[in-house]
Copies of this chain bind each other. A is one copy, B any other.
Amino acid sequence: MSDQYKYNLSENDLPTSWYNINPDMPVDPAKTAWNAVLNPQTKEPVTPEFLSVLFPMKFIQEAVSMERWIEIPEEVQEIYKLWRPTPLIRARRLEKALDTPAHIYYKYEGASPVGSHKANTAVPQAFYAKQEGCVGFTTETGAGQWGTALAMATNMFGLECHVYMVKVSYHQKPYRRIIMESFGSSVVASPSDQTSYGRKMQELYPDTPGSLGMAISEAVEAAATSNGKYKYSLGSVLGPVLMHQSVIGQEALKQMEMAGEYPDVVIGCVGGGSNFAGIAFPFIRENLTNGKKTRIVAVEPTACPTLTKGTYAFDYGDTAQMAPIVKMHTLGHDFVPQGIHAGGLRYHGMAPHVSALVDSGHVEAIALDQLDTFEGAMMFARAEGLFPAPESSHAVRAAINEAIKAKEEGKARVIVFNLSGHGFFDLTAYDDYRKGKLEKFEYPEEKIAESMKNLPQVAF
C-alpha cells in the first residue's frame, strides 16, 4: 500500500476500448427485458429504422452490440486526452477529519474542461454524428451540465448544437448557458416557441418554469421533424451512454492497483445512471467474472427515489410520451420531483441496465435527503478544499456514512466513490444550505402512488 494522495495515470494508460456490459449482464434478457425498447405509439419493439430518426446509426449498433470491448475511435481518444485519465485521489484529510480506519478514494471527473463526466459520452456521440453527415444535434439540459458537454463536443467537430434548457435554469443559472453559447450552441428556454409541443405547453401553462420532461420532448420533436438534418442526443439512461462512461471505472481499477488496494464498496450517485454505471460496471465485471465481492451502491435523492420507491416496469422515457418505452425503475413518467438542487438526479426513470442490476441484487440502492448530502459535501469541502456538485454530493455523503460505520465497527474498509462533477456553478445552493434555507424532502409517497397509475400497458 502506497502513502500517496493522488494516483495519476499517464496518457498511455487511457483505456482504448469501452466496456460493454451487455454480454455480462447476469440476468436473462427474456425475463427482465433490460435491453428492450418499445415504440411509444405501437408499444411493440422498435426497429433500428425507427431509432435512426433520432440517433446516429453507430450509436444504435452500440446499443444492441454483444461485444464486450468496443474500440474507442482514435479521434475520440485524442479528445479524451485533453483531460483523461482523470485522477484518483485518496481523501486522507477527510479520513482524518472523520477519524476513521476506512480508506476513502474518489475518482475526480470534475477535471474535465466542462466540469463533469458528461464529456465522456458527448465526444463519441458528436463524432458519430459528424461521421454520418449530420448537421448537428438537438438536446435538452436542466442546470446545464449535459448541455455544456455536448456544446464543447459539437464545437470540436464543427457541428451545430441546439439546446432546450429548462426555463427556470435558463434564467437563474446563466453561467452554463454562457459556456454553451461561447462554444457556438444555440440555447433557448424551454418550453419554447420553436416546437409545436413547446408552443402547446406555453399556451396551456404560460407561467410554467419548465421541466426536463418537457425539454426532452421539445428536443426529440425538433430532431424527428428535421428530415435527418439533426439527430437527438441523450446524456444518460441509454446503454451506449453508460458504456462510454466505462472509461471511469476502467481507470479506477488501474489506479486502485497503483494504490495497492481493492475496494470493499464502490459508490456513485444516480439520476439517469450514467456516472454510476461508469464507475461501477467495470467493478461489477470483477464481481461477476473474477470472484470479487465488492458492494456496489447507487445513491439517489429521497425527493426522486426511483430505485428505492419506484416500480420496475415499462414506462415512457419522457413526459410527453414521445420517447421510447423501456423497462426500468420508474416513479411514473408524469412524476414531477420536488425542486432539489441536484437537478441532474430529478428524472422519473432509471437506466434499464442499472434497474435490472438492482432488481437482480447485484447493486444496492439507497436514498439520501438533500440536507444530509449538503452536510456531507460541506465536510468534504472543508477537508479536501473542493466543492462537489449537488448530484455528486450524494455519493460523497454515502462514502462518509460508510467511513463512519467502519469506525463504529472498528474495521478497516476501502471505499471508492465517483465525484462526477464540481460544484462551482452551484455555490448559491451551498449558501442556501449554510443559511438554513434548504428544505428537507421526505419520500413523496402519495405523489408516487398517484403517478404510478399512469404507467402504459404493454403486452411485451
Listed in ascending order, the chain A residues whose CB lies under 8 Å from chain B are 4-6, 8-11, 78, 81-83, 89, 93, 111-115, 119, 152, 155-156, 174-175, 178-179, 181-184, 378, 381-382, 384-387, 424-425, 427-428, 430-431, 434
Contacts and interface: CB of A to CB of B under 8 A. Distances in A.
B434 A182 contact: yes
A9 B111 CA distance: 16
A233 to B, nearest CB: 17
B113 A427 contact: no
B10 A179 contact: no
A72 B428 CA distance: 36
B178 A430 contact: yes
B386 A81 contact: no
Contacts of A93: 82, 156
Closest 5 CB pairs of A and B: A113-B385, A5-B81, A8-B8, A178-B427, A113-B386
B8 A4 contact: no
A78 B92 CA distance: 10
Contacts of A5: 11, 78, 81-82
30 contacts: A5-B11, A5-B81, A6-B82, A8-B8, A82-B89, A82-B93, A82-B384, A82-B385, A112-B385, A113-B384, A115-B424, A155-B382, A174-B427, A174-B431, A175-B424, A175-B428, A178-B427, A178-B428, A179-B427, A181-B431, A181-B434, A182-B378, A182-B381, A182-B427, A182-B430, A182-B431, A183-B381, A183-B382, A184-B382, A424-B424
A410 B23 CA distance: 53
B11 A10 contact: no
Contacts of A431: 174, 178, 181-182
Nearest to A383: B156
Most B-side CB within 10 Å, residue of A89, A112, A179: A179
A120 to B, nearest CB: 13
Contacts of A182: 378, 381-382, 387, 427, 430-431, 434
Contact of A175 (B89, B181, B427): B427
A378 B178 CA distance: 12
Nearest to A113: B385
A111 B112 CA distance: 10
Given A5-B11, A113-B384, A385-B113, A425 B428 contact: no
A325 to B, nearest CB: 36
Contacts of A89: 82
A244 B179 CA distance: 33
A178 B8 CA distance: 30
Contact of A387 (B11, B179, B385, B428): B179
A382 B181 CA distance: 11
A104 to B, nearest CB: 14
Most B-side CB within 10 Å, residue of A9, A115, A381, A434: A381
Nearest to A81: B5
Contacts of A424: 115, 175, 424-425
A81 B175 CA distance: 30
A253 B10 CA distance: 18
A236 to B, nearest CB: 20
A387 B180 CA distance: 12
Contacts of A111: 111
Nearest to A111: B111
A428 B177 CA distance: 10
A354 to B, nearest CB: 28
A15 B161 CA distance: 44
